[in-house]
Homo-oligomer: A and B are copies of this chain.
Amino acid sequence: MREITFAQALDEAVAEEMRRDERVITLGTDFTGNPHKEFGPARVRFTPISESVLTGMGLGAAGCGYRPIVNWRMVTFSFVAMDQVVNQASKIRYMFGGQADFPVTYRCSTGGGMNLAAQHSQSPYSMWMHVAGLKIILPATPADAKGLLKSAIRDNNPVVSFECSRLNAVAGPVPDGDHLVPLGVADVKRSGSDVTVVGLAYYVQEALAVAAELAQEGISVEVVDPRTLVPLDVETIRASVRKTGRLVIVDEAPPTCSAAAEIAAAVVEDSTTFRALKSAVQRVCAAPVPVPYSPTLEKAALPDRAAIIAAIRCTLK
């Protein structure tokens, strides 16, 4: 299979979908992969720095037959557009009784680890998860990035694509042809029997590295990648926990009301899964601070392999 980077995979997804359907258009202050060269200025729009109107325009044009991809670039910049996300995009279909569809895709990058400091190192997916009415993808590999983003663009609902910056340069195999990954299906990235580690984005890779390391001491770690945050494939996660009896969740957002909190709650509110659980759930998340700039502090703020290993050992005690 071809090996391409995460960033290339995302660019390919956009280009293929734009080729496939001319109603797909894209708006942003800048683009990777030069789509304007192939698709021209009508469909690829360089915009003023006006995220709020762009977000609403994407939604409005979607309601009028187009399939816009709005690129906020960093998730940080989407906060100026939050009204259009929370009050409009997430509610518009239901509130209007389903009379129209709104096939718009919002893309943005997330995450820390590159010394970009508080404002440019955010992973706030749980804020979008909480708002009922948005689908959300969060891929961890180039193949999933391509397959999920293509599915997102074809989906007839507002979908938010969170794209972890630290993964951009990571290369991996991507199937040829029209590679699609369905929304709402988690992926067991490594099978194991002692403890379930649910990792998100960059931390899927880290969890896999930890699993390989711990395998040498005979600890069998199952790594589950939800891939889609809404709809969340709770059943795959619960099934894994029923098998292993132990749960660690790893993500770089702060823990409070996070995706990690949701996964913990979803597991312990199911009777069968709760009864199968042998030890306290462990969340390995960021320190509850804005991500600091200095390397020593940023390292202290974000999860690392040592923290994942410590949490796993804790569940095995």
Contacts and interface: CB of A to CB of B under 8 A. Distances in A.
Nearest to A90: B290
Interface in A126-141: 126-127, 129-133
Interface in A270-293: 270-271, 273-275, 277, 279-283, 287-290, 292
Given A257-B257, A261-B257, A269-B280, A290 B130 contact: no
B130 A254 contact: yes
Contacts of A61: none
A257 B287 CA distance: 18
A131 B124 contact: yes
Contact of A282 (B80, B261, B269): B269
Contacts of A280: 268-271, 273-275
Interface stretch (A23-31, A81-89, A102-110): A81-89
Interface string A209-240: 00000000000000000000010100000000
Nearest to A94: B290
Interface string A235-261: 000000000000000000111111111
Contact of A253 (B80, B124, B130, B281): B130
Contacts of A130: 124, 126-127, 253-254, 256-258
B281 A265 contact: yes
Interface residues of A, number: 57
A257 B262 contact: yes
A295 to B, nearest CB: 16
A261 B281 CA distance: 13
A316 interface: no
A89 to B, nearest CB: 11
Contacts of A115: none
A76 interface: yes
B95 A87 contact: no
Interface of A: 52, 76, 79-80, 82-83, 85-87, 90-91, 94-95, 117-119, 122, 124, 126-127, 129-133, 230, 232, 253-262, 264-265, 268-271, 273-275, 277, 279-283, 287-290, 292
27 contacts: A79-B85, A79-B86, A86-B124, A91-B118, A91-B119, A94-B289, A94-B290, A94-B292, A95-B118, A124-B130, A124-B131, A130-B254, A130-B256, A132-B256, A132-B289, A230-B256, A257-B259, A261-B261, A264-B265, A264-B268, A268-B277, A268-B280, A269-B280, A269-B281, A269-B283, A270-B280, A274-B281
Given A95-B119, A269-B280, 9 more contacts: A79-B85, A126-B127, A132-B254, A132-B287, A257-B257, A261-B262, A269-B283, A270-B280, A274-B280
